[in-house]
A and B are shown apart, each in its own frame.
Chain A
Amino acid sequence: MVFLAPWLLLGTLLGALPVIIHLLNKPRYRREEWGAMRFLQAAIIRRSRTIRIQHLLLMLLRALVLVCFALALARPVMRAANIGAGGQPTTHVLIFDGSYSMRQGEHRQNAFLRAKNSALEIIDEIREQDNAILIWAGNKPRAITPRAVYNRAELRRMVEQLEPGWESADIPRAIEYSTWMLQSSTLPRHRITVLSDGRHGTWPIDDTDVWIDMRTAYDAHRLPLNIYGLLQPPERPVRNMAVSALRARYPLLDIHREAPFVVEIDNYSGEENAAELVINVNNEQVETRPLTLREGRHTETFTHLFETAGSHAVTVTLLDDDLPVDNRRTVAVEVLERIPVLLVEGRSGRDPFESDGILLSWALEAGAGEGNDGLFSVEVRHAADFGSMTAADLMNYKCIIMANVRSVSAESSRILDQYVRDGGGLLIGLGTEFDALAWNRLERGREGMLPANINERRDADGRPWRPVFPAGLALDALGLFDISRTRTLGDVRVESHYAVSPVEGALTAGVVDDAPLLLVKKHHEGAVALWTTSLGLEWCNLAAVPDYVPLMQNLVFYLSSSVVPPINIQQGETLVYSWSRAAALDASVTNSPAPPRICTLTLPDGRTEELTMTTRMGEHLAFWGETLQPGVYRVSAEGVPDRIYAVNLPRDAANLQPVEITGDSMDLEHAPVKLTGSGDALRQAIRDETGVRDIGILLALLALAFLLGEMILAWRTAG
């Protein structure tokens, strides 16, 4: 038998009260002079033994009444047969919902605190022979206890130290993870309890697949399914709006143009709400915008012209609702003053018809004037010089253009492949010098860098083709074009091009002669574009028409954008700071200063950490893994400007609408999970499962029976 309120067992001491009263209480006798003593004596002789027994019995009954009431108040539960399965040692797995919605509510009454209290109550019920495993359900599940723990004090301490999370919670995955953790326990039974606020965002009860996956994992481990979900959402209706997305419309921003941003706001309140959107750039408020938000998703746009190049943080904040934590979102942007481009040409010369890159360099530098260097900084080199360039040399460029280059050496191929993998952009234009066999060595299907296998050259034979850019496929690469409809460049004549066989994953962004003209393929962090005709006037007259400038600028801009380092990182992912890149991107940094040994990381809450720099593959790097807290992470290092990283909350945990539970507990459809809405209901469900019975009522009835017996006996004794 176990008592849920054991401190009330002190009440059983009241059972001694009748005995103490009996011992201490000397009755005050009335004096009576009496004649009929012979009859009294006869009665005493007849009844004395019976009376003594009755008095003892009365005292016993009174003590039992008090003891039984005290025991009943202590909420005793008995495992139906210490006997059956209920008595077997059990591993209790407690899964804490780490989603940020658990922060909702007053600090002392938020959902996470309720979950902690429920966990402590469960731990209090754990017996000596039981153990427990604590699991955190975040973006990725992780163990709070490295193994099954028997020590209840240690478990309590661990639970008490928990703080609400900043993530979304993948509950099914956390349950699945528990199957692995259960391997560390050898006890015959287990029970999994998920402590959550029961939001739709974290409980995908309608997503059958995730639950089937979870069940499959359980079945694979041949574990019985004892899973309970204790869902305790706040009682009152929730008014929540969330900034669920903030992004720059273009991945590469510069100081020459207004940078457009897109904000997505979700209103989960179920009603129209007024709100105010505040836009900050680098902690300075630049705009305040009143909004009226109907239920559902809203999109807002704004632009900002950055005056300086470098790392910037753009933050939007929504004011006033029940869950402030999801009202703010930050995007870190890298604003460039110039985009360094390396143009490698197969043929060099001052005549545009003899040079493969001169027209392209002019197109990229178009717009520059006196006092205005333009966006692109183009460095032209002959193909013969490219073989001597190192990986560090290539890091100075955001995009490399290979115009009619015959071939590259094996070493250059390796460096070029690594360059693209690290986020570089590569544009390959063909021509008469081009050796398709040599270049095809870079095509290794999905694993290779080239978007297509290059076959044979095709000539128009006097019937030149017109390039067509199909609607939608041109993507951001051709952002200047209207990509909502098919665009045919009628003035352009293509005389020759290479037939190609696109590899898996390649995107055909333009066609000519019903064959691909422009193919784009993402290769790790970077991208490669293949232009199947010449970039100059050799095989087509594109360079002679006005569309050439915007087309090439946009294409090179797009490819350069890939170089943007991952400065907007997902929660929990490691922040990687590259001092080398910071130095490379900053035009003011010259002469390659000596890298520092440490850098300073300022966390969103203002705390600072010193990070030690390490060198890997010629880059000077620092790492920080604890990126759960949303906000701006600023890295400062000697010799280079600060770099800003942004971490934002996942958008799927902002929906605070609770999963509705019908009745005290509900079996989740498609999943072996029993959902309950209160600790009492959970305990009752567990008792139902384990055969544990609450015998408090029985004891109370027993006490009443004793009381009735006492009254009858007292009445009989009193005659």
Chain B
Amino acid sequence: MNKTLTINISGIIFNIEEDAYEKLKNYISQIKSHFVNDSGCDEIMADIEARIAEMLQAKSNQNKQVLIISDIDSIINTMGRPEEFDDNSSNRSNNNKSSFSEGNNYTGNKKKRVYRNGEDKVVGGVCSGISMYFDIDPLWLRLAFGVSFLAFGSGLLFYILLWIVLPEAKTTAEKLEMRGEKVDINNIGKQVSEEFEKIKNKFETEAQDFKQNYGTKSRGAVGNFVNFFVEIVTKIAFAFAKFIGIFFIIFGLMLLVVFLSSIFGSSNIFHFSNGAQSISYSLKDLMVLLINNDSQRNLAIIGIFLTFCIPLIMLVYKGLRLILNIKYKNRIFGVIASILFLVGISIMVYLIADVASDFKKNGNSVDRFSFLPIGKVLTIQTNDKDYDFVDTQEEQDEDINSLKLGKWNYKINDKSISMSNIQFDIEKSNTDSFELLISRMAKGNTSKAAYARAESITYKFVQTDSTLTLPSTFESEIANKWRGQKIRMKLKVPVGKIIFLAKNSEQIIYDIKNVTNTLDSEMTNRRWLMTTDGLSCVDCADITTTTKQKRDRSSKDENEEDIDLDF
């Protein structure tokens, strides 16, 4: 004993066993999903259902009123499985990329698709296939790719990505799809309006169904309605996905070019400039400054490439999949990319730990120089001619080998790195002679290494007559890398001697104590007398910072006092 159902196909009533019904239902929905992208889908379905009804009618008669599963099987045999509709033989099922070419050349919906063209190829047929899609001469694309190969290989990466993403047109159907209709503005417009029309029609019929079914089968109708909206939302999301895809590709490619050119070339990838502060450096320069040796540098290049470029490549890959609407999944590609990314991260962690270990210990090498100036006034200046803050900045911006990290400049030369981390202070001397203390400091993974690194800093000052010239930069061998090298100087001045701070000394003087608490920038271009209390300004009649002077001052200088309070 079997349960039977009553069904209606094309207006004819049939009694059918439950399992046979399930089979028929599945079969019809398979056919429907096969033709769903077809413009004549509804009509084809109606025709096929009518034919099925006719055949079923022939199978049921007075003696046999119920349809059983073998009836359905025989119908499926005659009508054929959806995958048999397109080709007469089974060549489509041999093709493992069949899911990629669902719009076939029989269904009247001549959609164009991007394939690799194996018939006309130089490397992988990528350019040829794409130019087929846009109906242009492949020569231009090949040229463009050729040129982009030179741009630090970013084009090569993109090419390989396309090679992975795009399937080759193998069957005739795929080749026809590859050639397809011209894709131009008119056709795109047409397609959009057709899509719109389809949605509109669907909406109308859906609304009618809803009206008809309302009350009797309200739950089903609501379900249909929900499905319908889900479909619309999916379509909108799909269109949106294309935009996202384009964005992914552009964004990813731009960053890729930037990164690659920064690793292999030396273009500055970060550049912030706001008035006095400016930071700009390229990854290549950073590596020269930080990474110990060549093999580590190669490791760093690989590490940076994997950690930063793999996600970008994946971004471009996703973008391509989105805009080309590629459904088949290349699992291996994703797995390999994830593994490479993790490898990249491990390399970075290792390198960072390695470099950080070089900052564990401090080294300090102090030199003392005593001298007696000839005149009464000792001038302190740096070796910068025509020192002007703004000018030097502009110069540095043009110099690609110069790095600016916060306040300090680093310039990479052939054999050495010149650095500007220098601070100069003035103190009272307990003896009758001037004394200059120069501390060269650096860091290393052991105290010994740090000291050796500090020792290797080259810094030469010049004292002629009554002028002390202190260079604004010092040199460190390139092999020593940047390991926190800095120079701290202290000039001990005997009581009664006068110091003149030249304008260009402003970049090295740091927090020089004086009796009037004058700021460093205000101290330049003035003479300072060492008294038993500390430095005191000799020609500061116009300056405004002292509490002593304030007391002497008349009330008409109130404006200036306001400014002082800001300090």
Task: Verify that A and B bind, or say they do not.
Answer: no
Q: Which residues in A have some Cβ–Cβ distance to B below 8 Å? A: none
Q: Which residues in B have some Cβ–Cβ distance to A below 8 Å? A: none
